[in-house]
Structure 1
Amino acid sequence: MSTDNTALDEPVHEARLWRDNGWTAQVIKNEDDEGWAVAMFKAGVSEPALVGPWTMGRDKKNPKPLDVAAFNTLVKTASEVIRRHEQQLHAQLNKTLHVAHDGVWTKVTLEIVPAEDEPYGWLRAHDASGAALAQVKVPASFRFNQTTAQAWVDAGFERPAGRD
């Protein structure tokens, strides 16, 4: 995709390049075979959100031209790919468990903060009404499981041993 930033907000509706509403579709030669591919870029992002095969035209040599219907379908598909990626990342960085202590349930969460220099996590406890009970900072490598969550609650929310 071109790195020329001039008029990136301007709509473009060409046979192999379609830009509108913060998205760009670019039909490219598939280097692995004789076919064509389409790459979808979200504005401001250098990596494509989606790359997939593109239909050949009637002459079986050139790609089918982009049109509004195809572009809208590609935007919807690329948006869904981004949404799923964000959900997966959120699930990797945020974990929740429930543990019982003296007959009372406590919700224990771990939120990893993926800081570039030193990632870390927040270990938090909440009661059944959602009120905060405790919070401690832990390394991003903290092993969060039923056993460690239970041990933290049982110890009265003391900072886990050997943790930052």
Structure 2
Amino acid sequence: MTEVPMPSSDDPTLDSTSDDQSDIREPRLWRCDGWTARVIKNEDDEGWAVEMIQDGEAEPALVGPWTMGRDKKNPKPLDQAAFNTLVKTASEVLRRHEQQLHAMLHRSVTVPGAEGDITVTLDIVPDEYEPHAILAALDETGGELARVKTAPNFKLTQASASKWIESDFARPG
């Protein structure tokens, strides 16, 4: 029978706080918590830039200038505080982009109806092969009155919504 040695208490594999094996913390490259920060040469001038890439994405979410080091030639090394700030900034950029995209693809107007206000929504579906929009009407309780498929370039306004309601929700042509 072979005796298996017990790991000592200073064995790093026993440390439950040790970093994930994929984490990298180098002066010009940090990978942690689903993000990668990389300090790169700025193509536009003699300075440096930093790019933030979220795991699984091909393009950076954020690219910005990076501070020069004390020697005025090399970049300042990345550190935990800088990385945290970059993650927060890149996350905010992505959040704003998602909000803008949502605002472009989803519209809503409310028009007065005979039995109460009617909310008309337009949800654009930017499908690669069959782009279209869904035009829907909801009563005051959120109950659906009508739903039709229409062209993705349909312009939802108070006037177009009223006209659609007056036509008994006939598909706009």
Report the TM-score, using the length of structure 1 for normalisation.
Answer: 0.90
Q: Percent identity?
A: 61
Distance 1:159 1:134 in 2: 10
Conserved 8 A contact 1:101-1:154? no
Point out the structure with max Rg over C-alpha: 2
How many residues align structurally? Answer: 153
Partner of 2:146: 134
* Deviation digits for residues 46-72 of structure 1 (CA, Å, limit 9, x no counterpart): 110000000000111100000111001
Distance 1:16 1:52 in 2: 14
Note if 1:66 corresponds to 2:78.
Answer: yes
Report the TM-score, using the length of structure 2 for normalisation.
Answer: 0.86
Distance 1:148 1:20 in 2: 50
Structure 2: tracts of 5 or more residues without a match: 1-20
Equivalent position amino acid for 1:88 in 2: Q
Deviation at 1:103, TM superposition (A): 5.6
Partner of 2:102: 90
Distance 1:36 1:123 in 2: 48
Give the 3-state SS of the residue equivalent to 1:19 in structure 2: strand
Q: CA RMSD in A?
A: 1.0
Equivalent position amino acid for 2:164 in 1: W
Equivalent position amino acid for 1:45 in 2: E
Deviation at 1:119, TM superposition (A): 0.9
Conserved 8 A contact 1:124-1:132? yes
Give the 3-state SS of the residue equivalent to 2:159 in structure 1: helix
Equivalent position amino acid for 1:151 in 2: K
